[in-house]
Structure 1
Amino acid sequence: MVDEEEIRQSPFWDWDFAFDAFPDIFMAFVEVTLLVTVIGSLVAAVLGLVIAILIMVLPKPLAWVVRWVANFIRMTPIVVQLIFVFWAFVWMDALTIGIIVFGVHYATYMSEVYRAGIESVPKGQWEATTALSMSAGRIWRKVVIPQALRSTVPSLGNYAISMFKDTPFLLVIGVAEMVTVAGERGAPVFRTTEVYTIAGLLFLAASYPTAVLINRLEKRLAYAH
């Protein structure tokens, strides 16, 4: 372990301290930040599609209720939601609560993306499925959803990146994600430059390649269309 007194007296950047802190920060990145982002994004993608479909197929009164709930969640700060759910469900693990809250919160955003994608399906496609006497389930599975996904995947990916960057909010429910762990390592010895630089570089190393892949996917889907 690096001597704390030496760290306090070291110059602007201390490589020994940076190498010593990196494993803890990286483990928090993998075990919390990345875990919440991946599982939360999957929850949001599936739930968002369900919300979008319910709004479009339910009777108007029920659809209005679903839309109102989604709008309420979307317009409420995620920090408030984390705190409320944490205290309302005290028996649940904080990390699980974080995944659920992030998933549900971003599902409300993704539902709007899905809805726009569904509405972009040409009217002729709907008419053709009706003429072929296809069942409602088959219409959605075979015709509508595949076409809607073609235009929504890039936007869904961007929301996943936004979720990734919002994970430091997990601190409010006591979940030590990457940025929190970085602060905990640097604060006692007044060395924050190294730890926050490492955290920032890990954010960049994960988000930038993802953004590039999303951009390429968007171009490929547009070309295929």
Structure 2
Amino acid sequence: MTSLNILAQEADEPVDPGGPWWDWAFAWDILPDMLLAFLQYTLVVTVTGTIIAAVLGLIIAILIMVLPKPLAWIVRWASNFIRMTPIVVQLILLFWGFLWLDALTIGIVVFGVHYATYMAEVYRAGIESVPQGQWEATTALSMNPVRTWRKVVIPQALRSTIPSLGNYAISMFKDTPFLYAIGVTEMVTLAVGEIGGTTFRYNEAVTIAGLIFLAASYPTAILINRLEKRLAYAH
């Protein structure tokens, strides 16, 4: 039970939905619950899901490029199938298919795998942008495939993929409200479902949720831009 519900039960009169457009006292009352939902669910799913997506996406991209054509086709088909299926459908199917897992774990896995398919395409484009001369140089130096990928190909590919990878991380962050489909009360679900549904005041809760999203995503976009410039300068 949120502190808002406790306050509503203890108050002599319920929150007035017909009051002013913005009530600062009400906004300050719900802010701790909003921040807690952000830290417990929205941020956890975004950070963990992004790590999974970044690593798995790179693995998918490499597999598509190095596996024999029949196996590469299977990997590509599976990736396309996941990418073209709505994430909310994937959440619901896995939630009911793996009832022994908690909803937060399901959410992290689905977001990580779903966005890995997008990042795989970004990685693939970055790998294909590596000049052919770099590949030929590694062959001339008798470098083994693992060292070629680790020392030459992947570092160069990352320089051109950082902006797109960062944009997908921000997109994942903004897609976390879909977690409502499996019963995870993240920040927007709390704002619209519990707070708005209990008090019939949506302005403060929805506005605070939007401001928290902005406060988290805008600095992230700036950091990604700076990282891109630093990598370009290092190159």
TM-score, scaled relative to structure 1: 0.97
Distance in 1 of aligned mates of 2:15 and 2:157? 58
- The one-character-per-residue Cα deviations of 1:78-126 (angstroms, maximum 9, x if unpaired) are 0110011111111101000000000000000000000001001110000
Q: Does 1:134 align with 2:143?
A: yes
Letter in 2 for 1:215: N
Against the structure 1 CA distance between its residues 49 and 186, is the aligned structure 2 distance closer, same or farther, given a 3 Å change threshold?
Answer: same
8 Å contact 1:40–1:99 — kept in the other structure?
Answer: yes
Query: Percent identity, aligned pairs only?
Result: 75
- The one-character-per-residue Cα deviations of 1:24-44 (angstroms, maximum 9, x if unpaired) are 111000110000000000000
Q: Does 1:80 align with 2:80?
A: no
8 Å contact 1:170–1:177 — kept in the other structure?
Answer: yes
Choose which of 171, 185, 208 in structure 2 pairs with 1:198. Answer: 208
Per-residue deviation, 1:23:
0.6
The 5-angstrom pairing of residues 130-209 of structure 1 reads 130-183=139-192, 184-209=194-219
Against the structure 1 CA distance between its residues 7 and 61, is the aligned structure 2 distance closer, same or farther, given a 3 Å change threshold?
Answer: same
Q: Secondary structure at the match of 1:121?
A: coil
Report what 2:224 is aligned to: 214
Alpha-carbon RMSD across the aligned residues, in angstroms, is: 1.2
TM-score, scaled relative to structure 2: 0.93
The 5-angstrom pairing of residues 16-27 of structure 1 reads 16-27=25-36
Against the structure 1 CA distance between its residues 6 and 181, is the aligned structure 2 distance closer, same or farther, given a 3 Å change threshold?
Answer: closer
The size of the alignment, in residue pairs, is: 225
Letter in 2 for 1:83: I
Q: Secondary structure at the match of 1:188?
A: helix
Letter in 2 for 1:191: R
Q: Which runs of 5+ in 1 are unaligned?
A: none
8 Å contact 1:7–1:17 — kept in the other structure?
Answer: no
Q: Does 1:14 align with 2:26?
A: no
Per-residue deviation, 1:203:
0.3
8 Å contact 1:7–1:14 — kept in the other structure?
Answer: no
Per-residue deviation, 1:9:
4.8
- The one-character-per-residue Cα deviations of 1:179-216 (angstroms, maximum 9, x if unpaired) are 01112112211110000011000000001111122122
8 Å contact 2:15–2:199 — kept in the other structure?
Answer: no
8 Å contact 1:82–1:101 — kept in the other structure?
Answer: yes
Letter in 2 for 1:37: T
Q: Which runs of 5+ in 2 are unaligned?
A: 1-6
Q: Does 1:123 align with 2:136?
A: no
Against the structure 1 CA distance between its residues 10 and 153, is the aligned structure 2 distance closer, same or farther, given a 3 Å change threshold?
Answer: same
Q: Secondary structure at the match of 1:207?
A: helix
Per-residue deviation, 1:6:
4.5
Letter in 1 for 2:204: E
Per-residue deviation, 1:220:
2.8
